[in-house]
Chains A and B, each alone.
Chain A
Amino acid sequence: MPPIVLLWRNLWRRPLRSILTVMSLAVAVFLICGLRSIITTIRAAADNCDPRRLAVMSASGLFVELPLHYQARIDKVPGVEITTKFQWFGGYYRSQKNFFAQFAIDPETMFAMYPECKVEPDAIQRMATDRTACIIGSSLAREFGWKVGDTIPLVGALHPHPEDKAWEFKVAGLYHSDRPNFDNRTLFFRWDYFEETLKQGGVPPAVGVYSIRVAPGADVAQVIADVEDVFKDSEQRIDCTTEAEFQRQFQSMFGNMPLFLTWIGAGVLIAILVASVNTMLMAMREQTPDIGILKALGFTDGSMFVLFLLQSTFLALLGGGLGVFGALATAPFISAGLEMFAPGYAVQPGTVVLGAVVALAIGPIAGILPAMRARSLTCIAAFRGE
């Protein structure tokens, strides 16, 4: 065994270098944990979807609208329990920069279909009685300081108000979702208000996406096939998919995010590995005379190997541990920041394990080269500074 006291003391030989090394390891492991958390969160969004919920959109793409009368035809397909519709409003509050999603919806069917979107009974009540009512996600409310009773003016960039002014929505209540497939940063308002206002301006309303819930006992694949079949000769053909598939397609609009993030993570890992090898080699060169002394005193080649492997492992564990801790500690803040893109951001236990494995592995890998050199170095060479 090498003298263990050297582990700690050598760390403080060049305090600044050690601190910088530990910090860079911490940042790298933090990034790796963070990136993986985004990936698992994105995946969770699709995995958490109710398998009995389907989405219907235009076969030409998400941004192509569907006729309003399709709902009645979908309702008639055997196995369809409920349908509800969404239309992207695409407005903004004061400035284009204040971006969040707004949808026109049918409150009754929407709430029935999305039990994960939890709304106070009072709010549902208020929503029913006030045509201009809306409900907003808890994160959105926190972000803009909106309360029940507030009026939110939104400029209808996509759907201009016929009187050439901002649309006004009155906050009937907040909703909160604890599932990653449903974010907390959206505003939902009443379809009838949307439709009637548009009609005042002579614009016929259309639907972005229909959602379907398949009746218990019905065959999901069969329902999908049947729904698609209904519209196969219509002016607008449709795509019917499970909600999970829909989520995945939606996410892939930004490219293959998980793969992209995995590559970034791998890049970070390689960069930190190369930097660590360099640091460990520098430390080893600096300790060359010590190796000579220790070997002359009778410490074996093997114990010098262990010493350098341990030094490197110690440093990496310190940095990596800090990184994992940082990832856990910052999760609530990151979660708030990523609400719209990856709702329900959380550091999974598997990610903590990944961070720990990286922290554990970097040390020995970065230390193996200097450790081998320390093992083969002779006293004579060490004293001659070779």
Chain B
Amino acid sequence: MAQPLIRLKDVTKTYTRGGETLTVLNRLALDMEEGGYFALMGPSGSGKTTLLNLIGGLDRADHGLVAVAGEDLTVLEGAALSAWRARTVGFVFQGFNLIPVLTALENVELPLKLTGLSGKARREHALHALELVGLSDRAKHRPGQLSGGQEQRVAIARAVVSDPKLILADEPTGDLDRASAEQVLTLLDKLNTQMKKTILMVTHDPHAAQHARTIVHLDKGQLGRIEHNQPAAARA
């Protein structure tokens, strides 16, 4: 088997708050292969977001190895880390996704501003990504004028617009109703199967987790069960 896209070894993360040390991740080890679709489940406070942030280079482990797409994130920092993120990862968060003063199109265009693309090419790419999520008719809308589900789809368009290998999604359906959630999940399936993106999705929802091919359980900072799953998309 090829080198895994994500390699975690002995990863420890603690937070100190008011003199107390809280071990959020405790000597965690896990490999995730490229092209996979992973769901990360676990009770609230079990460290799911923390783990996702470490993998996305938004936070730093105290200890251990976090290697993603061939880079050791424990040594990368500053502008080099920013550039790595821009190149490698697309994020979809639960809340805080879009910049409220920018239109959907402008939000999707943002990551491309970090590339050498011309303004025209950026617009075309962004429009294409909006088309992919079925929202090209909402290009000029501000986030405030979109539904929650539409906002998440715009966020997905933005996550893929610069063609990163890895999509990290933290409870992308957490705030959505059933139908909107289903649309978002279908999109993620599409990114995985058609565009070959590796997806790591944190979710509380067992139904959402069924879309992934690997379900990783996290409990009190340690790895629990790992389920292999025949996802709905593949069954269909």
Partner-contacting stretch, out of A166-174, A262-270, A290-298, A312-320: A290-298
Among A1-37, those with CB < 8 Å from B are: 1, 3, 5-6, 9-10, 12-13
* Cβ 8 A contact of A297, one of B78, B91, B100, B101: B91
Task: Please name all residues of chain A whose beta carbon is closer than 8 Å to the beta carbon of B98 when the two chains form the complex.
Answer: 293
Is B101 a contact of A13 with CB atoms below 8 Å? yes
Is B79 a contact of A5 with CB atoms below 8 Å? no
Complex-state Cα separation, A350 to B103, whole angstroms: 44
Task: Please name all residues of chain B whose beta carbon is closer than 8 Å to the beta carbon of A297 when the two chains form the complex.
Answer: 85-86, 91, 110-111, 114, 158
Is B96 a contact of A383 with CB atoms below 8 Å? yes
Partner-contacting stretch, out of A100-108, A231-239, A299-307, A351-359: A299-307
Is B102 a contact of A5 with CB atoms below 8 Å? yes
Q: Which of A292, A296, A300, A378 has the most CB of B within 10 A?
A: A296
A-B contact count (CB 8 A): 65
B166 to chain A, nearest CB (A): 13
Complex-state Cα separation, A213 to B184, whole angstroms: 93
Is B114 a contact of A299 with CB atoms below 8 Å? yes
A205 CB within 8 Å of chain B: no
B59 CB within 8 Å of chain A: yes
B37 CB within 8 Å of chain A: no
Among B91-147, those with CB < 8 Å from A are: 91, 93, 96-102, 106, 110-111, 113-114
A326 CB within 8 Å of chain B: no
Is B96 a contact of A289 with CB atoms below 8 Å? yes
A156 to chain B, nearest CB (A): 70
Is B110 a contact of A380 with CB atoms below 8 Å? no
Chain A contributes a number of interface residues (CB within 8 A of B) equal to 26
Complex-state Cα separation, A6 to B98, whole angstroms: 13
Chain B contributes a number of interface residues (CB within 8 A of A) equal to 26
B60 to chain A, nearest CB (A): 9
Task: Please name all residues of chain A whose beta carbon is closer than 8 Å to the beta carbon of B114 when the two chains form the complex.
Answer: 297-299
* Cβ 8 A contact of A298, one of B59, B87, B97: B87
B95 to chain A, nearest CB (A): 8
Main secondary structure of the interface of A (DSSP, over half): helix
Is A293 a contact of B78 with CB atoms below 8 Å? no
A379 CB within 8 Å of chain B: yes
Q: Report if A300-B79 is in contact (Cβ < 8 Å); known contacts: A292-B96, A293-B97.
A: yes
B53 CB within 8 Å of chain A: yes
B232 CB within 8 Å of chain A: no
Complex-state Cα separation, A22 to B198, whole angstroms: 48
* Cβ 8 A contact of B85, one of A9, A296, A301, A302: A296
Complex-state Cα separation, A292 to B59, whole angstroms: 12
Complex-state Cα separation, A296 to B111, whole angstroms: 10
* Cβ 8 A contact of B82, one of A3, A12, A292, A299: A299
Is B58 a contact of A10 with CB atoms below 8 Å? no
Task: Please name all residues of chain B whose beta carbon is closer than 8 Å to the beta carbon of A292 when the two chains form the complex.
Answer: 96
Interface residues of B, Cβ cutoff 8 Å to A: 53, 56, 58-59, 78-79, 82-83, 85-87, 91, 93, 96-102, 106, 110-111, 113-114, 158
11 A/B residue pairs, CB under 8 Å, sorted by A: A1-B113, A9-B102, A289-B96, A295-B82, A296-B56, A297-B85, A297-B158, A298-B111, A301-B78, A378-B59, A379-B58
For the A-B complex with A296-B58, A298-B85 known, give 15 more contacts whose Cβ atoms are closer than 8 Å: A9-B102, A10-B101, A293-B97, A295-B58, A297-B85, A297-B86, A297-B110, A298-B114, A300-B79, A300-B82, A302-B79, A378-B58, A380-B58, A380-B59, A383-B93
